Structure 1
Amino acid sequence: MNNADEMKNLASRKVRITELMKEKGVKATVLSPSMDMLYTTGFNTFPGERLLVAVFDDSGEVIFIVPRMYEQEVRERAVFDRILSWDDSQDPSDILDALCSEKGYAGSTVAIEDIMWFNTFDKIFSSFKQAQFVKASGIVGELRKYKTADEAEKMRKSSELAEKALGKVIPLIKVGMKENEVRDLLEAEMKQQGLTSPSFETIIGSGSNSALPHYTAGDRVLKTGDSIVIDFGGMYRGYCSDMTRTVMLGKASSEYTEVYEAVKEAQQRAVEAVKPGMKASEIDAAARSCITDKGFGEYFIHRTGHGIGMEVHEEPYISDISKAVLEPGMVFSIEPGIYLPGKFGVRIEDLVMVTETGVEVLNKFSKELIEI
């Protein structure tokens, strides 16, 4: 996609944000450096102690308040209507106070970034006097839940390249290697395939470590009979992939095979349940009931999945308490697992996209039991 296409997308998002704000009675939406800022304006940077925010007004105007050192970057990269810059000899609260007075934000409903540095929130709280604060995810998150054709294509490509990397690395896994050596091989191969970086900290859990769902690679030495959980993903043109396969180093025992097949069946049942109109909780139930029926319910200790896009965890969340209803364009993971403490764990994860008629599975990598 060229720059003109991206600017068109940003302009469209700006219009939609304004519409949502009016629908929800929100006078202003304030975003600090984050994926939300990047998604809505085209600009992002590291959050810091200096005040840098984008204020979306319900009139449709977007005002950046930025340190002068960032002004040129914002002008070159962002969608905006006005920039109010300040330098270190000024108190940015004065600029924020003046904007709030100009726009009449006192006592209004204001959406702010869900996760924000306290010093930024403190300035906003002080300037937006008597405002009722709500989460910006109720506005920006509503847009990010639904992937455009271009976003979906980036995620397909990200998944494809990650799978190619995994296919190269699995044959290299040997007894005597360390978990972090497997991680390093996989991350190097992802880069070789064209992914710019891991989309999260790569999980390589072997032996009893595989029973820890979010264990990260350590220096444990791989042994014959180890279950190895490989949960990883990469970034492609700003979008994440995320997949998990579990392999056996050596010959699988009957207990391991029983657990593996239970997870595989649960994952497949959940995938097959995906279609527009289904509740996220029903997808969770499809996987969970399968595992429970096979006697392993107490060992499935997390939700079934999560949305994904520019960040590895987004709306919608696929859990038994989720209120989300599936709609076309939503992309999320389906990743049931069984974790036997002190013994081993098994997890299988694919990304799926809700289509008009059902589901598209973004991952194509085999889910059959692999013995190395």
Structure 2
Amino acid sequence: MGTEELYPAGRLSAARHATAAAGLDALLLTPGSDLRWLTGYDARESERLTCLVLPAEGEPTLVVPALERPDAEAAPGGGLRIVDHADGDDPWPLVRAALPGPVRAVGIADRMWAQQVLALRAALPDAAQRLASEVLRELRIRKSPAEVAALAEAGAAIDAVHRRMGQWLRPGRTEREVAADIAAAIRAAGHAEVDFVIVAAGPHGASPHHGTSDRPIGAGEPVVVDIGGTMPSGYRSDCTRTYVAGGPAPAGFVDLYAVLRDAQRAAVAAVRPGVTAEDLDAVARDMITAAGFGDAFLHRTGHGIGLDTHEDPYVVTGNPRPLEAGMAFSVEPGIYLAGRYGARIEDIVVCTTDGGQRLNTTPTELIAL
């Protein structure tokens, strides 16, 4: 797919209209996924200011460090007015000059650095500051066909890594050794960046965000492997499978895993337009609770994914948002027994016009290596 399909020029116009409708005079976007989604520019985060100034009325301007101007000019979105600042110059007057008329309220990037937020407040002391996500959330939450294709490409790449797990995950090897092999394979499978590698064996599997350690993997221990990366397109992968290496699983684990597998499959099957995010969460949660493991399901059932690994919509109790075609999110229930073991199964699913499409296609059975 071409970058023009992933980063169409019409997004700037749509964002400008949405900014006006939200009662904001402009969006001010520093490096991050919002800036990339609107322009295709994967800007560097640094103390040197990069900021897209998108007025509700008027021409957008990209303020960049002079040394990064060539990269900004080469961005897929193209066609932006670019102004640059040299090291040692104050860039904030350039931001102010790009804002026509009085400025009463601006939407700022959700993850703008605090030092930039404070500098902006000094530059525009009379302007109220709100989150840009108030405007951009609704534009980004439904993926275009090109974005779905990019996510499918990411899903296929991470699936290819899971299929090779038997090469690395063996008793006696440490979690860290296995993780190093996985990280290399994530890049070899086509990712531009490795975002995370969780290899959590035995009791470590009961900590959902364990990471890795120098603890050797024991024979027959369940191992939770949660991995993801960023593709050259900017779109992300995220997939979890649970393995047992070099021996039979502990007593009780096979039954626990069967409960988890059935709950995850049921939740995937329940995806369709109109189902609320919290009701989808309840599909998996109610089955796990009925089997006696409710207190061991420690997190939400899923999160949206796109240019960020975690973005809207969140599949969680308390989110009444109905699913819509084009929404992409994880379905990843887990069961975690402290001091013993844990298990998680995660697929990325896209809501279609009449159901859901799994973008991860490796088996969800307990995988014995």
Q: Which residue of structure 2 lines up, in the alignment, with residue 163 of structure 1?
A: 159
Q: Which residue of structure 2 lines up, in the alignment, with residue 189 of structure 1?
A: 185
Q: Which residue of structure 1 lines up, in the alignment, with residue 22 of structure 2?
A: 24
For 1:81 and 1:163, the matched residues in 2 are separated by 37
- Cα RMSD of the aligned pairs, angstroms, is 1.7
Gaps of 5+ in 1: none
Q: Which residue of structure 2 lines up, in the alignment, with residue 85 of structure 1?
A: 84
User: What residue identity is the alignment partner of 1:70?
Assistant: E
Q: Which residue of structure 1 lines up, in the alignment, with residue 346 of structure 2?
A: 349
Q: Which residue of structure 2 lines up, in the alignment, with residue 325 of structure 1?
A: 322
Q: Structure 1 residue runs of 4+, over 4 Å off?
A: 3-6
Displacement of 1:185 in angstroms is 1.9
TM-score with structure 2 setting the length:
0.94
Q: Which residue of structure 1 lines up, in the alignment, with residue 32 of structure 2?
A: 34
For 2:189 and 2:97, the matched residues in 1 are separated by 50
For 1:287 and 1:273, the matched residues in 2 are separated by 10
User: What residue identity is the alignment partner of 2:339?
Assistant: G
Q: Is the contact made by 1:10 and 1:79 (CA closer than 8 Å) also made in structure 2?
A: no
For 1:235 and 1:51, the matched residues in 2 are separated by 24
Q: Is the contact made by 1:10 and 1:39 (CA closer than 8 Å) also made in structure 2?
A: no
Q: Which residue of structure 2 lines up, in the alignment, with residue 313 of structure 1?
A: 310
**Could you say if the C-alpha distance between residues 291 and 3 of structure 1 is closer, same or farther in structure 2, counting changes exceeding 3 Å?**
closer
For 2:191 and 2:49, the matched residues in 1 are separated by 32
Structure with higher helix content: 1
**Could you say if the C-alpha distance between residues 243 and 5 of structure 1 is closer, same or farther in structure 2, counting changes exceeding 3 Å?**
closer
Q: Secondary structure at the match of 1:10?
A: coil
The farther-off stretch of 300-309 and 73-82 is 73-82
For 2:221 and 2:211, the matched residues in 1 are separated by 16
CA distances 1:34-88 after superposition (whole Å, capped 9, x unpaired): 1211111222322222222111011252112222222333233254543332223
Q: Is the contact made by 2:196 and 2:229 (CA closer than 8 Å) also made in structure 1?
A: no
Displacement of 1:4 in angstroms is 4.8
Given candidates 209, 223, 237, the residue that maps to 1:228 is: 223
For 2:80 and 2:366, the matched residues in 1 are separated by 55
**Could you say if the C-alpha distance between residues 202 and 172 of structure 1 is closer, same or farther in structure 2, counting changes exceeding 3 Å?**
closer
Q: Which residue of structure 1 lines up, in the alignment, with residue 208 of structure 2?
A: 213
Given candidates 110, 113, 116, the residue that maps to 1:114 is: 110
For 1:348 and 1:71, the matched residues in 2 are separated by 43
For 1:307 and 1:246, the matched residues in 2 are separated by 22
For 2:208 and 2:160, the matched residues in 1 are separated by 24
Name the % identity. Answer: 33
Superposition pairs of residues 90-105 of structure 1, within 5 angstroms:
90-100=89-99, 102-105=100-103
Q: Secondary structure at the match of 1:139?
A: helix
Q: Which residue of structure 2 lines up, in the alignment, with residue 300 of structure 1?
A: 297
Q: Is the contact made by 2:53 and 2:98 (CA closer than 8 Å) also made in structure 1?
A: no
**Could you say if the C-alpha distance between residues 329 and 59 of structure 1 is closer, same or farther in structure 2, counting changes exceeding 3 Å?**
same
**Could you say if the C-alpha distance between residues 61 and 323 of structure 1 is closer, same or farther in structure 2, counting changes exceeding 3 Å?**
farther
Q: Which residue of structure 1 lines up, in the alignment, with residue 249 of structure 2?
A: 252
Q: Is the contact made by 1:62 and 1:80 (CA closer than 8 Å) also made in structure 2?
A: no
For 1:368 and 1:94, the matched residues in 2 are separated by 58
**Could you say if the C-alpha distance between residues 274 and 320 of structure 1 is closer, same or farther in structure 2, counting changes exceeding 3 Å?**
same
Q: Secondary structure at the match of 2:28?
A: strand
Gaps of 5+ in 2: none
Q: Secondary structure at the match of 2:306?
A: coil
